[in-house]
Structure 1
Amino acid sequence: MSNLRDLQFENLDTAVAEARLLLREGYTRQGNWTLGQICRHLILVQDPSVDGYPKWMSLFAFMRPIMRRFLLPKILSKDSPRGIRTSSMFVPPENVDDASEVEAFAKSVERVHRHVGKYHPHPAFGKQSRDMIEQIHSAHAAHHLRFLTPSNPAS
C-alpha cells in the first residue's frame, strides 16, 4: 500500500473541515472506502457515544483495562493500526453520496458536542471524559481520512 497521509486532528471540528475540503477539492482513494463511506462509518461509530452501544458490545468489558493500556495509546497515535475488522453494524453501505454524508457527519459532530451529561461507555475503553471521547473520535476520523489524498494538496 502506498504511503498514507500523516493526519491528526485537534478536535472533531477539524475533522469536519478536512472532510469538507476533500469534498470540495476532490480526492484519490488509497483504501477501500469513499469519503461518503468513511463519513457514514464515523457517524455509526460516534453516535452511540450519545445514544448507547448495543448490550452485546459490553460482553468483553473485562478486557477494557488492557485495551485502555495497550490499544488506546496506539489509536491516539499518528499511526493507528490498520486492518482491524469492524463489526458489520459499523460497515457503511457501498452506494452513499459524499456530499450528503459529509454534512451528516458535521451534524453528528454537532450532536456529540451538544450532548449534556456523560457519554455512554466506549465498548473497548469504558467510561471516558468528554475530552477523551473527543480525542478518541478525532483520532478515529484521522485514521480513516488519511486514506484519502486531496486532489489539490497545495490548496
Structure 2
Amino acid sequence: MGALRDLKFETLGKAVDDARQLLATGYVRQGNWSLGQICRHLVLVQDPSVDGYPVWMSWFAPLRPLMRRILLPKVLSGDSPRGIRTAPMFMPPDNLDDGSEVDAFAASVERLANHSGNFAPHPAFGRLPRDRILEIHAAHAAHHLRHLRCRDETS
C-alpha cells in the first residue's frame, strides 16, 4: 500500500468534486472501503446533522467538553484517529454502485448547504455553529477519501 493522499477540503463541495474525479478516472483503494462505501458512510454520518441523531448517542454528552478540547482539533487538522470502529448504523454495506453513491453524497452535501435551521448537536462535540459542523464534515470526508488514489496517479 502506498502513502495516503494529503487531503483538506475547504468546503464539502470540494469533497464532492474529489469523489466525482475518482469516479471519472477510476481509483486504487488504499483502505478497506470502495468509493461507494465511503460515500454511503459520509451520507449516513452527515444526514443526522439535519434529521437528528439517535437518542442513545446523547448518552455521551458529559464527555463533549473533553472531546471538543482533545479530539476536535485533531479532526479539523486532518489528524483524525484511524482504526476506530464506527457504530453499526454508520457502516456501509458491500457491493455498492460507486456512481449512485457519489450522487447520493452530492445530494446530501447540497441538503446540508441549503439547510437553514440549526444542525442537531454532534454526538461527540455537541451543539456547534453551522460553519464548524460543515468544517467537521469536510474534514471527515477528507479522512476517508484520502484512502483512494486516482488510477492515473503514479505515486
**Shorter-normalised TM range:** over 0.9
- 1:149 partner SS: strand
* Alignment of 1:146 onto 2:146: yes
CA distance in 1, matches of 2:86, 2:98: 21
Change (3 A) 1:152 1:2: closer
CA distance in 1, matches of 2:69, 2:79: 17
Among all aligned residue pairs of Structure 1 and Structure 2, give the percentage whose two residues are the same amino acid: 67
What is the TM-score when the length of structure 1 is the normalising length? 0.97
Match of 2:49 in 1: 49
CA distance in 2, matches of 1:91, 1:61: 22
Match of 2:96 in 1: 96
Name the Cα RMSD after superposition.
1.0
Match of 1:113 in 2: 113
CA distance in 1, matches of 2:153, 2:115: 34
Higher mean C-alpha displacement, 144-153 vs 12-21: 144-153
CA distance in 1, matches of 2:149, 2:79: 16
Q: CA deviation at 1:78?
A: 2.4
For structure 1, which runs of at least 5 residues remain unmatched after alignment?
Answer: none
Matched to 2:85, the amino acid is R
For structure 2, which runs of at least 5 residues remain unmatched after alignment?
Answer: none
Matches within 5 A, 1:1-150: 2-150=2-150
CA distance in 1, matches of 2:76, 2:68: 11
Q: CA deviation at 1:84?
A: 1.0
Q: CA deviation at 1:153?
A: 3.2
What is the TM-score when the length of structure 2 is the normalising length? 0.97
| Equivalenced residues, count | 154
